């Protein structure tokens, strides 16, 4: 079940990349490439850093094909997708939550320290979106007032802490995912941002 849910989140990431590219009047190759980079970039960076060989989408090409198909479909259905942009924000939030937690768990399973696992979880969740924003010359969510990276960080910390304190308990993934998605969904629903005074020197 988690595997198929991850595919949904991956597709949502790809579509968000296509939507960003569409506003820059790019051709289909550039748009699809950006969608795939958005979907696969975070996990690729994680696997390179922690020396996983081969990286996840080479080991299982289903991730590649889902990202490619979602990007191509989104390119041809961009007008319809634009009307569903709010739904896609929630799907993106779900992808952020799931990939952050799964990456944190994967890194711990490989024997890395939990602080490293938290950072790898965070990188997996947000790096694809950061690459998307850099390539489309948009302000990255990480460097804006958007309440985006902090939920991922808190969820990764929660998972790592629960895994350390209660290693035999089997629901840490669920708790971490719910925390991230809940915080991000609240930010989308009620327009939550960091207070401006926190951004001042």
Q: Mean pLDDT throughout 174-182?
A: 95
For the cut 80, the answer to whether the pLDDT of residue 17 exceeds it is yes
190 vs 96, residue with greater confidence: 96
- CA dist., res. 156 & res. 121, Å (int): 6
Backbone torsion region of residue 25, taken as left when φ is above 0, otherwise alpha when ψ lies between -120 and 50, otherwise beta: left
Q: Phi and psi (nearest 5°) for 84?
A: -105, 20
Backbone torsion region of residue 14, taken as left when φ is above 0, otherwise alpha when ψ lies between -120 and 50, otherwise beta: alpha
Q: Is residue 64 within a helix (H) or strand (E), and if so which, with residue range? A: helix 62-76
Coil/strand/helix, residue 169: coil
> How confident is the model over 55-111, as pLDDT tens digits?
999 999 999 999 999 999 999 988 887 777 788 888 888 889 999 999 999 999 999
Coil/strand/helix, residue 178: helix
pLDDT value, residue 84: 78
**pLDDT class of 168 with cuts at 50, 70, 90:** confident
177 vs 190, residue with greater confidence: 177
* C-beta neighbour count of 155 within 10 angstroms: 30
Contact by Cβ (8 Å): 71, 14: yes
- CA dist., res. 21 & res. 135, Å (int): 9
Q: Mean pLDDT throughout 33-44?
A: 94
- CA dist., res. 23 & res. 25, Å (int): 6
Which residues neighbour 90 within 8 Å (Cβ) at sequence distance 6 or greater? 185, 188
Q: How many residues does the chain have?
A: 201
- CA dist., res. 162 & res. 159, Å (int): 5
* C-beta neighbour count of 87 within 10 angstroms: 11
**pTM assigned to the model:** 0.88
pLDDT value, residue 101: 95
Q: Mean pLDDT throughout 22-34?
A: 82
Could you tell me which of 109, 200, 105 has the C-alpha nearest to residue 159?
105
Instruction: Please state, for a pLDDT cut of 70, what percent of the chain lies above it.
Output: 90
For the cut 70, the answer to whether the pLDDT of residue 22 exceeds it is no
**pLDDT class of 8 with cuts at 50, 70, 90:** confident
């Amino acid at each position: 079940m988690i595997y198929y849910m991850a595919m949904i989140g991956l597709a949502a990431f790809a579509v968000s990349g296509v939507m960003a590219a569409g506003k820059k009047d790019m051709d289909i190759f550039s748009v699809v490439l950006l969608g795939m980079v958005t979907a696969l970039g975070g996990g690729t960076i994680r696997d390179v850093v922690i020396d996983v060989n081969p990286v996840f989408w080479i080991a299982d090409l289903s991730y590649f094909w889902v990202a490619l198909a979602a990007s191509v479909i989104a390119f041809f259905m961009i007008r319809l997708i634009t009307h569903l942009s709010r739904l896609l924000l929630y799907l993106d939030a779900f992808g952020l939550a799931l990939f952050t937690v799964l990456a944190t768990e994967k890194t711990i399973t490989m024997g890395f320290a939990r602080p490293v696992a938290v950072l790898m979880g965070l990188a997996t969740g947000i790096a694809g979106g950061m690459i998307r924003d850099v390539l489309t010359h948009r302000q990255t969510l990480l460097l804006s007032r958007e309440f985006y990276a902090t939920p991922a960080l808190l969820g990764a910390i929660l998972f790592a802490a629960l895994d350390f304190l209660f290693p035999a308990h089997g629901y840490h993934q669920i708790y971490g995912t719910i925390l991230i998605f809940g915080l991000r969904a609240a930010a989308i629903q009620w327009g939550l941002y960091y207070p401006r005074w926190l951004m001042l020197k």
